[in-house]
Structure 1
Amino acid sequence: MTAVVNMYAKCRRIEEARRMFDRMPERDLVAWNAIVAGYAQNGMAERALEMVIRLQKDGRKPDSVTLVSALPACANVGSLKIGKTVHAFAMKAGFDSLVNVSTALVDMYSKRGAIETARLVFDSMRLKNVVSWNSMIDGYGQNGDAEEAWRLFEKMKRSSVKPNDITFLSVLSACGHSGLVQEGKKYFAGMKEDYGLEPNMDHYGCMVDLLGRAGRLHEAWDFIQKMPISPGISVYGAMLGACKIHKNVKLGEEAAQRLFELEPDEGGYHVLLANIYAAASMWEDVARVRTMMEKKGLQKTPGYSSIDLKNEMHTFYSGSTDHPQSQKIYTRLARLIDEIKAVGYVPDGDSLHDVEEDVKEQLLGTHSEKLAIAFGLINTTPGTSLQIRKNLRVCNDCHEATKFISQVTGREIIVRDMQRFHHFKNGQCSCGDYW
Structure 2
Amino acid sequence: MDYAHHLFDQIPQPDIVVFNSMARGFARSDTPLRAIVLFSDIICSGLVPDDYTFPSLHKACANSKALQEGKQLHCLAIKLGLNHNIYVCPTLINMYTECNDVNAARRVFDKIVEPCVVCYNAIITCYARSSWPNEALSLFRELQGSNLKHTDVTLLSVLSSCALLGALDLGRWIHELLRSMVLINMLRYTGLVSKDYGMHGSKAISLFEEMKRARVRPHEITFLGLLYASSHTGLVEEGCEYFYSMSDKYGIIPGIKHYGCMVDLLGRAGRLDEAYKFIDVLPIKPTPILWRTLLSSCSSHGNVELAKRVIGRIFELDDSHGGDYVILSNLCARAGRCELFEEIDERQGGGEDLHQALGKIVKELKLVGYVPDTSLVCHAHMEDEDKEITLRYHSEKLAIAFGLLNSSPGTTIRVVKNLRVCGDCHSAAKLISLVFDRQIIFRDVQRFHHFKDGKCSSVLVETTGSRI
TM-score scaled to structure 2, two decimals?
0.49
**1:390–1:416 Cα contact (<8 Å) kept:** yes
Of structures 1 and 2, the one with the larger relative CO (CA 8 A, separation 6+) is 1
CA RMSD of aligned residues (A): 6.0
**2:223–2:242 Cα contact (<8 Å) kept:** no
**1:249–1:277 Cα contact (<8 Å) kept:** yes
Unaligned stretches of 5+ residues in structure 1: 97-101, 117-139, 303-316, 380-385, 408-412
Aligned equivalents of 2:165, 2:276: Cα separation in 1: 37
In the alignment, residue 265 of structure 2 is paired with which amino acid?
A: L
1:147 to 175, 199, 213: 199
Percent of aligned pairs sharing the same letter: 19
Post-superposition Cα deviations, 1:304-342, rounded to whole Å, max 9, x if no partner, equal xxxxxxxxxxxxx87768xxxx99x9978965745x96x
**1:157–1:163 Cα contact (<8 Å) kept:** no
**2:276–2:294 Cα contact (<8 Å) kept:** no
What's the CA shift for 1:62?
1.2
2:397 to 351, 354, 367: 367
1:171 to 226, 247, 266: 226
1:346 matched to which residue of 2? Answer: 375
Query: CA 1:332 to 1:60, structure 2 compared with 1: closer, same or farther past 3 Å?
Result: farther
Tell me the matched-pair count: 336
**2:200–2:229 Cα contact (<8 Å) kept:** no
What's the CA shift for 1:399?
1.4
2:193 matched to which residue of 1? Answer: 115
Any idea what SS the aligned residue of 2:177 has?
A: helix
1:421 to 446, 452, 457: 446
Post-superposition Cα deviations, 1:283-309, rounded to whole Å, max 9, x if no partner, equal 554455346546xxxx78x9xxxxxxx
In the alignment, residue 70 of structure 1 is paired with which amino acid?
A: V
What's the CA shift for 1:61?
1.6
Superposition map of 1:357-396 within 5 A: 359-360=389-390, 367-368=397-398, 389-391=415-417, 393=419
Aligned equivalents of 2:230, 2:348: Cα separation in 1: 35
Post-superposition Cα deviations, 1:138-161, rounded to whole Å, max 9, x if no partner, equal xx5xxx431135424433533544
- Mean Cα deviation higher: 197-206 or 76-85: 197-206
Whether 2:313 is the aligned partner of 1:256: answer no
**1:388–1:414 Cα contact (<8 Å) kept:** yes
Any idea what SS the aligned residue of 2:375 has?
A: coil
TM-score scaled to structure 1, two decimals?
0.52
Q: In terms of Rg, which structure is larger?
A: 2
Superposition map of 1:2-401 within 5 A: 10-11=102-103, 26-30=114-118, 32-33=120-121, 36=124, 45=133, 48-49=136-137, 52=140, 55-56=143-144, 58-77=146-165, 80-91=168-179, 105-115=183-193, 140=195, 144-148=196-200, 150-159=202-211, 160=214, 161-164=216-219, 166-176=221-231, 178=232, 180-181=233-234, 183-189=235-241, 196=249, 206-213=261-268, 217=270, 219-221=271-273, 230=281, 233=286, 238-253=293-308, 255-256=309-310, 260=313, 264-267=316-319, 271=325, 276-277=331-332, 279-282=334-337, 285-286=340-341, 288-290=343-345, 292-293=347-348, 335=368, 337=370, 346=375, 348=377, 356=386, 359-360=389-390, 367-368=397-398, 389-391=415-417, 393=419, 398-401=421-424
**1:224–1:231 Cα contact (<8 Å) kept:** no
Query: CA 1:421 to 1:389, structure 2 compared with 1: closer, same or farther past 3 Å?
Result: farther
